[in-house]
Amino acid sequence: MTPVVETLLAHRSIRKFEDKPLTEEQVAVIIDCARAASSSSFIQCTSIIRVVDKEKRRLLAEYAGNQAYVADAAEFFVWCLDFNRHLQIKPDAQLGFTEQTLIGAIDTALMAQNALAAAESMGLGGVYIGGIRNNPDKVSALLNLPDYVAPLFGLCLGYPAQDPEVKPRLPASLIVHTDEYQAVDKEELAEYDEIVRHYYRTRTGGTKEMTWSEQIDGTLGKEARPFMKAFIESKGLSTK
């Protein structure tokens, strides 16, 4: 087991932080690790908005569904797919392809995961904030994001002030398929559901008991940010 493996396996999201800043050197190392990730066809279509302004942090916390740690964390980064940079270099760039949105989402996530892993290896903790997609228009206006730029997710980083358990994930047998797609093994799913139920029970002192399947039933029983298609297209993305 390498130190990298140890760090990655120990990951759990941190939502409570000490009131202690990161040094600029720490931030620089974290960003350098993000930059080192692979980039599809060397396109480099990611921008990171580092939000320092306290009022903007307060508003982002609100936009994300009142997640106080967005305001409280030592650092908060908004990860964006960005083809506007290319447009500034090449005003007749062919943009708007769904393929480019996919590249942007994938490559931006590769970079962010490097950032989080680097931070965790330095004794820091963090949590991704998908909640900024609750109000993509407002986030976009607040950060002055131009066309062909879309905010994908936030990342809080700081010194952990909590020590949560690692959350049990779907077993490898359910997510790795050999040579072709295989249907869900219902027995393995039932076993995993019990593991998740136990995790919630012990974590909440018995106030929450829920299997993964029950959680999915709730999450996918309702619409998923139905305004996202219009928002993405309003930025000039995925129009073709």
Per CB under 8 A, the list member of 19, 23, 24, 220 interacting with a copy of itself is 220
Which residue number, 21 or 146, has a Cβ lying nearer to a copy of itself?
146
**Does residue 238 come out as left (phi exceeding 0), alpha (psi in the -120 to 50 range) or beta?**
left
Q: Nearest to residue 235, comparing CAs of 141, 131, 155?
A: 141
Which residue number, 72 or 108, has a Cβ lying nearer to a copy of itself?
108
Q: Nearest to residue 36, comparing CAs of 100, 105, 112?
A: 112
Two structure tokens written together for 114:
């490097």
- Pick the stretch among 14-22, 62-70, 157-165, 207-215 that binds a copy of itself (CB under 8 A): 207-215
Q: Does 217 bind a copy of itself (CB under 8 A)?
A: yes
Give me the residue label for tokens 């039933």.
217
- Residue 189 CB contacts under 8 Å (≥ 6 apart), including other chains: 174, 212, 213
Q: Does 167 bind a copy of itself (CB under 8 A)?
A: yes
Q: Does 159 bind a copy of itself (CB under 8 A)?
A: no
Q: Per-residue contact track with a copy of itself, 9 to 28, x per CB under 8 A?
A: xxx-x--------------x
Q: Report the site for a copy of itself in 120-149 (rule: CB under 8 A).
A: 120-122, 127-128, 130, 133, 142-146, 149
Q: What is the distance between the alpha carbons of residues 131 and 128, in angstroms, rounded to a whole number?
A: 9
Q: Does 75 bind a copy of itself (CB under 8 A)?
A: no
Q: Does 72 bind a copy of itself (CB under 8 A)?
A: no
Two structure tokens written together for 139:
């986030």
In this structure, the number of other CB atoms found within 10 A of the CB of residue 101 comes to 22
- Residue 99 CB contacts under 8 Å (≥ 6 apart), including other chains: none
Q: Is 23 exposed, middle or buried (0-12, 13-18, 19+ CB in 10 A)?
A: exposed
- Pick the stretch among 14-22, 32-40, 62-70, 201-209 that binds a copy of itself (CB under 8 A): 32-40
Which residue number, 72 or 192, has a Cβ lying nearer to a copy of itself?
192
Q: How far is the CB of 48 from a copy of itself (least distance, A)?
A: 5
Q: Does 100 bind a copy of itself (CB under 8 A)?
A: yes
Q: Report the site for a copy of itself in 33-52 (rule: CB under 8 A).
A: 33, 35-44, 46-52
Q: How far is the CB of 18 from a copy of itself (least distance, A)?
A: 19
Per CB under 8 A, the list member of 16, 18, 62, 93 interacting with a copy of itself is 93
Q: Residue 30: enclosing H or E segment and its boundaries? A: helix 24-35
